[in-house]
A and B are shown apart, each in its own frame.
Chain A
Amino acid sequence: MRLSTYILKRTAFVIFSLIGLSVLVFVLARVLPGDPARMAAGPRAPEEVVEALRRQLRLDKPMYEQYFYWVTNVLHGDLGYSLVTRRSITADVLEYLPTSLELIVLAAIFEIAGSFILGVIAGRYSYKWPDNLVRLASYIGISIPAFVMAIILQLLFSWTFKIFPTTGMLSQGIERPPVVSGSVALDSLIAGRFDAFVDVLWHMVLPALALCMGGLLQDARIIRSGMVENKDKDYILMATSQGLPDRTVMFKYLLKPSVIPAVTVMGLDIAALMANAFLVEIVFSWPGFSKLGITVMLNKDLNAIVALVLVIGVIYAIANIVVDVMVAYLDPRIRLMERGE
């Protein structure tokens, strides 16, 4: 099938999954013990207030009606009302999500570039010391959870060596540029504020590194394995026998098939990035959706929880589609062969 058909199929599938997901979380939030209206109103509020709140939240209506109402709202861009922040959830999301996203994007860039470089070096010098170093590092790196990595990096490079700032997004004295996209880095560029841009970037380095390190090392190992495995394949031998320059053989003929398994894993990597952002932000006091999420979760703000999960699910789904498309583009066998062949 052609590339466009493939994309359509994947998108349809993903939308279906998201619908299922929203139903799941929705039902879960309402089925489990605990009275959300009571919890929002507080233990000392009088019964009438709680009752009014319950009616306002439509908690007295049957489940499917609640769901239907909620879905229509979502499709209009209204994610509901947060009982904790007392604001529209959409507003909350728009305020806190972009800052998290810019961190995740930087982490993704680090991860792709880093894994490539390390993987190719390890593959090129396989079984010699660069390779052994990378493999050892990858074993250790995979075992360190992101929040532990965050603490270690903070301890080393922030507290001890004082290279990077410890917490926060901007240094004192540097004002945040006017909000256009919500992402401070982008906004700085738009406003022409290079001082803010550099400052934000500097603050982002450690958290982004903490986020991507595990995935980076894992991907490097996958790329390295791919290269070592493919190095002895006949098609590489043929390319060399044909007199193609070493550069071409290594970076075109060897690299492309070796990188494909790593790209396939990238979907999961993005999930890890998004999930770990939650934890890493806490360590670095980065004002992203973790701030929103933690408050909301500890306070049982159901609407917000459901909305958050949905938003993250959508972003993740889009990222997955992009990754799948990339894999299909790189490896024609996947898109052109029927499933189960």
Chain B
Amino acid sequence: MQIKESIVKISARYDLKRKWYRFSKSPLSIVGLIIAVISVFLALAAPYVVPYPTHAGLVTNFKDKFLPPGSTYLFGTDEIGRDVLSRTVFGFQYSLMMAAVVLTLVIPPGVISGLIAGYYRGTWIDTLIMRIADVFIAVPPLVLALSIAAVLTPSVFNAMMAVSLMWWPWYTRLVYNTTSALRNEYFVQAAEVMGASPFRIIFGEILPNCLGPILTKITLDVGWVILLGSALSFVGLGAQPPTPDLGTMVASGGNFMPDAWWISMFPAIAICIIILGFNLLGDGIRDIFVEEAR
């Protein structure tokens, strides 16, 4: 039975068409994909699609301040008269950029350390790597991020560094669990017996089978990182004004609640929609890989 399962696992890896078919059957996943694609598009094309691109930077327009949502300014204006819609769309740019940078920094070390720790499970390599990872996991993520960001000067760059520094162990743990489970599968043992080097086994046999959980986590993490980033900015440790970061906008708009509610609400809703989109997408990805495992 186990041999048959092992074979199915290897052959199922490259079955993209089948995976897409199954993915497309779930309406929620499609919604997630659409939201994610639109978010990325907005992030990339921000300067070209918004009505008032200059409002994202240093601009004052006091005659138009505190205008409620209307025809000229669809989402209203803030306390300096800047267009909330344009700034929100630029906010997408910052959020997604943060997610991209953090994940790029975090995934390689996280995944590789997880693979190594899992493959050499039970040895000192395993203990060393996992103990270090456990230290980072011992504190609630946000608190750790806040404290790391706190010792650095508040800026977007440093916020990204802070989040990256505390994020990698989660990948290590995920990959470690998957690798440990796969370690004893027949197809790995077969490769060992044939004389394949550990490098070849880890990256050639084990890693492709971890792709499902890793991909799922990456997608869900986009949402989490954006959440974390906006939380940091909300507190004042991330992007600084006048940068149009979604978290900062929510924070500064908070001063004008409830009368000029639009200054906080629209960026806040934007945050929720991005997270929702990537959550749905992540769920969809998880579902197509779970089917394979059965």
B131-161: which have CB < 8 Å to A?
A: 131-132, 134-144, 146-154
In contact, A313 and B138 (Cβ under 8 angstroms): yes
B201 at the interface (CB under 8 A from A): no
A29 at the interface (CB under 8 A from B): yes
In contact, A278 and B235 (Cβ under 8 angstroms): yes
Identify the closest chain A residue to B132 (Cβ). Answer: A20
Complex Cα spacing A305 to B162, Å: 15
A151 at the interface (CB under 8 A from B): yes
Complex Cα spacing A154 to B261, Å: 11
Complex Cα spacing A275 to B273, Å: 22
Chain B interface: which of A138-146, A172-180, A225-233? A138-146
Identify the closest chain B residue to A272 (Cβ). Answer: B140
A288-318: which have CB < 8 Å to B?
A: 293-294, 296-298, 300, 302, 305-306, 308-309, 312-313, 316-317
* Interface residue total, chain A, C-beta cutoff 8 A: 53
Residues of A within 8 A of B273 (CB): 143
A251 at the interface (CB under 8 A from B): no
B246-264: which have CB < 8 Å to A?
A: 250, 254, 257-258, 261, 264
Q: Is the interface of A mostly helix, strand, loop or mixed?
A: helix
Q: Is the interface of B mostly helix, strand, loop or mixed?
A: helix
In contact, B143 and A275 (Cβ under 8 angstroms): yes
Shortest distance from the beta carbon of A11 to any chain B beta carbon, whole Å: 13
Shortest distance from the beta carbon of A126 to any chain B beta carbon, whole Å: 17
Shortest distance from the beta carbon of B238 to any chain A beta carbon, whole Å: 12
Complex Cα spacing A282 to B261, Å: 17
* Interface residue total, chain B, C-beta cutoff 8 A: 48
Shortest distance from the beta carbon of B204 to any chain A beta carbon, whole Å: 24
In contact, A145 and B271 (Cβ under 8 angstroms): yes
Identify the closest chain B residue to A14 (Cβ). Answer: B138
A25 at the interface (CB under 8 A from B): yes
Complex Cα spacing A100 to B134, Å: 26
Residues of B within 8 A of A142 (CB): 275, 279
**A residues neighboring B (CB under 8 Å):** 13-14, 16-18, 20-21, 24-25, 28-29, 32, 34, 139-140, 142-145, 147-148, 151-152, 154-155, 159-160, 270-272, 274-276, 278-279, 282-283, 293-294, 296-298, 300, 302, 305-306, 308-309, 312-313, 316-317, 340
**B residues neighboring A (CB under 8 Å):** 28, 121, 131-132, 134-144, 146-154, 180, 223, 227, 230-231, 234-237, 250, 254, 257-258, 261, 264-265, 268, 271-273, 275-276, 279-280
